[in-house]
Amino acid sequence: METLISWAIDVALVLLVVSLAWRALASTDLFKAIVLFIAFGLVLTLVWVRLNATDVALAEAAIGAGVTGALLLAAYAKLRATSPDAIVDRAGGISGIGAISLLILILLVAAALGYAVWTLPSDYAGLGKEVAANLDQSGVSNPVTAVLLNFRGYDTLLEIMVLLLALLGAWSLGITIPRPEAAPGLVLDTLSRLLVPLLILVAAYLLWVGAHAPGGAFQAGAVLAAAGVLMLLSGRELPAALATWPLRLALVLGPATFLMLAVITLILEGRVLKLSPEWAGRLILIIETTATISIGVTLTALFMGAPPGEEDR
Amino acid sequence: MTTSDYLSAALLTTGGLFFLAGTFGLLRFPDVFTRLHALTKADNVGLGLTVAGLALQVDSWAVAGKLLLIWLLALLAGATVSYLIAQGALRLGIRPWKR
Amino acid sequence: MQTLLFTLVLFLILNLGVGMWRVLRGPTTADRMLAAQLLGTTAVAILLLLAEATGSAALRDVALVLALLATVTAVAFVRRTLPYSENANDDE
Amino acid sequence: MSVALFYALAGAGLFSIGLHALLVHRHLLRKILAVNVMGSGVFLVLAAMAAPNAIALSDPVPHAMIITGIVVAVAATALALVLMLKLTAETGQAVLPGREEENS
């Protein structure tokens, strides 16, 4: 009975996730596509839980179902403001013979992928044992955090750089669409006054708990970004005094600290980001704290689009 | 099973029924305002009963507190978001359904 | 008790599937978004039930984050895509 | 068939759905969603491979890779959305130029 229900849950989840993706990509209404995509992220969070990837579920809940959704909705609104014509998705990129041969080609690709996945060795051990054996050297007891910040720290360093680069790219394009907004009103104002401190608190909690349980800098950074986005949405713009160098400082704080540590470890230990076991715990906490701040500010800035103070240019 | 287990099971099942009722209302009600009404039943009562049922099972006060926090958060968010959506719908020019 | 919890999880996942229908049907953007709100709350309930059923306390954190972020997404919808003043005659 | 294999096959399916939408649709917002779905499909295969059977120790390396991937995906999505808005501001349409002759 238990296994039957368990299987039914998995089958229902997969059917739901695939049909949500399919409907999101096939519907003619773009707004519907975005809402379905948000629902897709929501269900995907449950899929990660079923696969025992709780860290991933946390990241998906914060980023996939949260920040990405807000970004897409804001972009949709800007698209409509720029050109009402542009939100209509006219069908017919490809039609007739082309569409059919493309469909056949995609089905062949799907069959090949399915076969490749099917024939993957099932007795593959992975790196779980190696990580577990070296976990006490890493300074943290959550294996995913150990991989992200210690064993493969260079991946994470580059990832934070990618985030910063994306923001620089977005800023250099200078998209500015003025949008008059109503005053937030008492209800929204009260909500943001209650939720913003709670979001910051939860971000700090996730950052702290990441050392020994699911959590960490990315999840915390995304929750922090949600606080920033909520403040922007309830009409609280960044004060002009903070929009100049303090904002830039917050953006590079994480990458700069991480990079500095990479250089120091290269000189002292002879290898990039080789953390000595007695210092690793503290160093990871420092990197994660600065990274959380930078990730939160970067994602909020990406939501804003243009650098603050230049909207009216 | 003890008495609290039976109580918990009853609460959880009732909570599930409220989710069903909410979903059913979402499908059957005629306009966005009445559907908001259905939504908040699932949001507030369905999740509330689920949280109550689970709180009887957990052994630590901290976990029960976290469950309560999540429910309070859902209450706050549900009330606010429903208000904002209803207000926005009125501005969109949607008139409330009349029999 | 385990069986009841997993059955409820399955039941709520099927509920998600039915709720998806309202997202598909609309007809207005507000309808789609409020259906997404219900999906969010249902997912929170599923996570809490799974946390109890599998004894994985971290799932309650996932539920908390999901509840918080779903609210922010809903506010983004209201503030960005709905008309901003009484006399605005925006389409949709 | 194990649960992990089932999810891995679903991941391959998601990738194919995304690839199809990426090639068929012209609207850039749809293409951005399609790339995100493709990415999720890849993540699903990775996550399924992290725990190929119930007995094996869950492998944290793929999980860390997926988290990295999710963050890179949101950064790329944000940049792509701004690029789309810029193109729309310039041309009035959110589709890539240069295909008008074929589709008139």
pLDDT at A311: 54
Inside any domain, residue C87: no
In the predicted structure, residue C91 carries a pLDDT above the cut 50? no
Neighbours of chain C (3+ CB pairs under 8 A): A, B
C42 chain-B contacts, CB cut-off 8 A: 19, 42
Worst-scoring range by mean pLDDT, A31-40, A71-80, A167-176, C34-43?
A167-176
Find tokens 């990660």 and name the residue: A48
What is the DSSP secondary structure assignment for residue D93, as one 8-state letter?
Answer: S
What is the full per-residue pLDDT of chain D (104 aa) written as tens digits?
688 888 999 999 999 999 998 988 888 899 999 999 999 999 999 888 887 665 556 788 888 999 999 999 999 999 999 998 888 888 877 787 765 544 44
C50 chain-B contacts, CB cut-off 8 A: none
- Residue type, position D76, single letter: A
Residues of the domain holding B37: 3-92
Q: Residue D11 is encoded by which pair of tokens?
A: 């991941």
In chain B, the N- to C-terminal Cα span, in Å, equals: 49
Q: Which residue has the higher pLDDT, D99 or A149?
A: A149
Inside any domain, residue B13: yes
Average pLDDT over residues C44-57: 90
In the predicted structure, residue A3 carries a pLDDT above the cut 60? yes
Interface ipTM: 0.91
Q: Do B23 and C57 touch (CB under 8 A)?
A: no
A46–chain C Cβ distance below 8 A for any pair? yes
Cα(C5)–Cα(A18) distance, integer angstroms: 25
Q: Residue A288 is encoded by which pair of tokens?
A: 């994660």
Q: Do A86 and D81 touch (CB under 8 A)?
A: no
B47 chain-C contacts, CB cut-off 8 A: 41, 44-45
Q: Are D45 and D12 in contact (CB under 8 A)?
A: yes
Neighbours of chain D (3+ CB pairs under 8 A): A
In the predicted structure, residue A197 carries a pLDDT above the cut 90? yes
Q: Are C64 and B66 in contact (CB under 8 A)?
A: yes
Over residues A30-79, the pLDDT tens digits come to 888 999 999 999 999 999 999 888 899 999 999 987 899 999 998 888 88
Inside any domain, residue C72: yes
Residues 6+ apart with CB under 8 A from B41: B18, B21, B22, B25
What is the DSSP secondary structure assignment for residue C55, as one 8-state letter?
Answer: T
A41 chain-C contacts, CB cut-off 8 A: none
Q: Residue D36 is encoded by which pair of tokens?
A: 């995100």
Share of chain A above pLDDT 90, in %: 31
Q: Which helix (H) or strand (E) holds C14?
A: helix C2-25
Domains observed in chain D: 3-95 (1.10.287.3510)
Q: Are B85 and B32 in contact (CB under 8 A)?
A: yes
SS3 D27: strand
Task: Label residues A105-130 b or e (16+ Cβ within 10 Å = b).
Answer: ebeeebeebbeebeeeeeeeebbbee
CA C27 to chain centroid, in Å, comes to: 18
Q: Which of D24, D87, D104, A91 is nearest to D96 (CA)?
A: D87
D56 chain-A contacts, CB cut-off 8 A: 125-126, 128
Residue B3 burial (10 A CB sphere; 0-12, 13-18, 19+): exposed
A187: closest CA of chain B, how far (Å): 7
What domain count does chain B have? 1
pLDDT at A237: 76
pLDDT at A133: 81
pLDDT at D101: 44
Closest alpha carbon within chain A to B66: A202
Over residues A258-296, the pLDDT tens digits come to 999 889 888 888 888 777 877 788 888 888 899 999 999
- Closest partner CB to D85 (pick from A37, A78, A118): A78
Residue D30 burial (10 A CB sphere; 0-12, 13-18, 19+): buried
Share of chain C above pLDDT 90, in %: 35
Cα(B94)–Cα(C92) distance, integer angstroms: 10
Q: How would you write chain A as a 3-class SS string?
A: CHHHHHHHHHHHHHHHHHHHHHHHHHCCEHHHHHHHHHHHHHHHHHHHHHCCCHHHHHHHHHHHHHHHHHHHHHHHHHHHHHCHHHHECCCCCCCCHHHHHHHHHHHHHHHHHHHHHHCCCCCCCCCHHHHHHHHHHCCCCCHHHHHHHHHCHHHHHHHHHHHHHHHHHHHHHCCCCCCCCCCCHHHHHHHHHHHHHHHHHHHHHHHHHCCCCCCCHHHHHHHHHHHHHHHHHCCCCCCCCCCCHHHHHHHHHHHHHHHHHHHHHHHHCCCCCCCCHHHHHHHHHHHHHHHHHHHHHHHHHHHHCCCCCCCCC
Closest alpha carbon within chain A to C26: A32
Count how many Cα atoms sit within 13 Å of the Cα of residue A108 in the half-sphere of its side chain.
Answer: 6
Share of chain D above pLDDT 90, in %: 41
Average pLDDT over residues C49-63: 90
What domain count does chain C have? 1
In chain D, the N- to C-terminal Cα span, in Å, equals: 49
Q: What does the angle CA D47 – CA D49 – CA D51 come to, to the nearest 5 degrees?
A: 85
Inside any domain, residue B17: yes
Worst-scoring range by mean pLDDT, A118-127, A185-194, A216-225, A227-236?
A118-127
Inside any domain, residue C33: yes
Inside any domain, residue C92: no
Q: Do B80 and A198 touch (CB under 8 A)?
A: no
pLDDT at A149: 83
Q: What's the pLDDT band for C88 if we cut at 50, 70, 90?
A: very low
Cα(A42)–Cα(A17) distance, integer angstroms: 9
pLDDT at B90: 82
pLDDT at D56: 58
Find tokens 């606010």 and name the residue: B80
156-215 in chain A: CB under 8 A from chain C: 179-182, 184, 188, 191-192, 195, 198-199, 202, 205-206, 209, 213-215
- Residue type, position C36, single letter: A
Worst-scoring range by mean pLDDT, A191-200, B6-15, B83-92?
B83-92
Write the CA distances from A128 to A133, D42, D43, integer angstroms: 9, 20, 18
Q: Output the average pLDDT for chain A.
A: 85
Over residues B41-94, the pLDDT tens digits come to 888 899 999 999 999 888 888 889 999 999 999 998 888 888 888 888 887 777
- Residue type, position D42, single letter: V
- Closest partner CB to A77 (pick from C16, C66, C80): C80
User: Positive or negative CA dihedral for A144, A147, A148, A150?
Assistant: positive
pLDDT at A98: 79
Q: What's the pLDDT band for C10 if we cut at 50, 70, 90?
A: very high
pLDDT at A93: 60
B63–chain A Cβ distance below 8 A for any pair? no
Residue A223 burial (10 A CB sphere; 0-12, 13-18, 19+): buried
C51–chain A Cβ distance below 8 A for any pair? no
Q: What's the pLDDT band for A13 if we cut at 50, 70, 90?
A: very high
Residues of the domain holding C67: 7-81
- Closest partner CB to C58 (pick from A73, A84, A214): A214
Inside any domain, residue C1: no
